[in-house]
Amino acid sequence: MAKRDYYETLGINKDATPEQIKKAYRTKAKELHPDRNSDKPDAEAMFKEANEAHDILKDPEKKAAYDRYGHAAFEGGMGGGRGGGQGDFGSAFSDIFEDLFGGGGFGGAGGGRQRASRGSDLRYNLRVSLEEAFSGLQKTISVPTSVSCSTCDGTGAESGAEPTHCPTCSGMGKVRAQQGFFTVERTCPTCSGAGQIIKNPCKACGGAGRQQKDKSLSVNIPAGVETGTRIRLGGEGEAGLRGGPTGDLYIFIEVSDHPLFQRDSQHLYCRVPVSITAAALGGDIEVPTIDGGKSRVKIPAGSQSGRQMRLRNKGMPQLRGGGSGDMFIELAVETPVNLTTRQKEILREFDEVAADNNPQGSSFFSKVRSFWDGIKS
């Protein structure tokens, strides 16, 4: 069967422009695609025919050969008309996808046309003391980052010249290669997928449109921050490539350990050592508070190690308002060391007369005796 004229297949004239050829092919491809014509057995053959016609007519050299010799120009292995047209669904669907959604086919080839790309987000770890976390502070930090090149205003081109379309990929950012039945797309090696090249790159930034520099920023650390608190500074990250939007800076807070206070959320704990006599007789002690002041705490007579007393609203402030936590004083009764002979005598005398003054010991050993008696019986 004689092959149809390629121009007739696409419904165009011989003097059609490349844009008209492409538009006509897309219309035919969408109309004849087998997935949309499952009830028409000849749709696949007609789709391949349209694909073959487009493969020849879109190439200026192949089109000139066809205009001069017709189908004979590609018979007997002369050119790739037949081989390229049979079953090239990947190439065809890529063009249809681009027409419908404005993309560049599979793999995001259309994205290659965008010369600008967003800068990366940056992370900065900031350590503060517990006192600083309590009161909040304004802190100046120095962040190593990429900033927009002041010489070329971020364009990457010398003297403000505009980038030009990459001649290798015609601005698509990807190149196609025919491998038998399949059409394979790869990132353009000339423009690295950007779709554009800079003939005269800026000498200051090498064509990137940005330079490495330390940026000084003033950061407001609110009162009540904890380890893991994240503060976002919009637009203070890495500058975009060739004038693209700037990324964000994320500051992660780490609160240092404190020699006196332990923190649990908004509450503070302070372990205070007291003497045996103070614990036994009771009395008043002064304890430090996180704001730098002091509070007087009354120790009840007969206090044991581990006993806690609460100081309300003496803890850490709630982040973004909402009151403060509490501070808990935990008593640690100390056993005296390095006793003198006289001190030992006094303690022995006290022990002889204090048999009924140890309620916890009496209760414990009473339970021990019951335990042993239960085993024996």
Give the CATH number, domain containing residue 40: 1.10.287.110
Q: What is the pLDDT along the chain (377 residues), one digit of tens a residue?
A: 567 888 888 899 888 888 899 888 888 888 877 667 777 778 778 888 888 888 888 888 888 888 877 777 666 444 444 444 444 444 444 454 444 444 443 333 333 334 467 888 999 999 999 999 999 999 999 988 888 887 787 777 777 667 777 888 877 778 887 666 667 778 888 777 777 777 778 877 777 777 788 889 999 999 999 999 999 999 898 887 766 788 999 999 999 999 999 999 999 999 999 999 899 999 999 999 999 999 999 999 989 999 999 999 999 999 877 789 999 999 999 999 999 999 999 988 888 887 667 767 667 778 888 888 888 87
Q: Give yes or no for a contact between 212 and 87, defined as CB atoms under 8 angstroms apart.
A: no
Q: Report which of 146, 129, 48 is spatially closest to residue 88, judged by C-alpha positions.
A: 48
Residue 213 lies in a domain: yes
Binding residues for Zn(2+): 149, 152, 166, 169, 188, 191, 202, 205
180 and 285 fall within a common domain? no
Give the global pTM: 0.55
Domain count, the chain: 4
Residue 183 lies in a domain: yes
Domain that residue 305 falls in? 262-333
Residue 107 lies in a domain: no
Burial tier of 105 (Cβ tally within 10 Å: 0-12, 13-18, 19+): buried
Q: Report which of 160, 154, 167 is spatially closest to residue 115, judged by C-alpha positions.
A: 154
Give CA–CA dist 169/189, Å, rounded: 9
Q: Give yes or no for a contact between 290 and 326, defined as CB atoms under 8 angstroms apart.
A: no
Query: Dihedral (C-alpha) 60, 66, 67, 71: value to the nearest 10 degrees?
Result: -160
Domain boundary among 255, 279, 313: 255
Helix (H, G, I), strand (E, B) or coil at 237: coil
280 and 317 fall within a common domain? yes
327 and 368 fall within a common domain? no
Q: Give yes or no for a contact between 99 and 93, defined as CB atoms under 8 angstroms apart.
A: no
Binding residues: 149, 152, 166, 169, 188, 191, 202, 205
Residue 108 lies in a domain: no
Burial tier of 209 (Cβ tally within 10 Å: 0-12, 13-18, 19+): buried
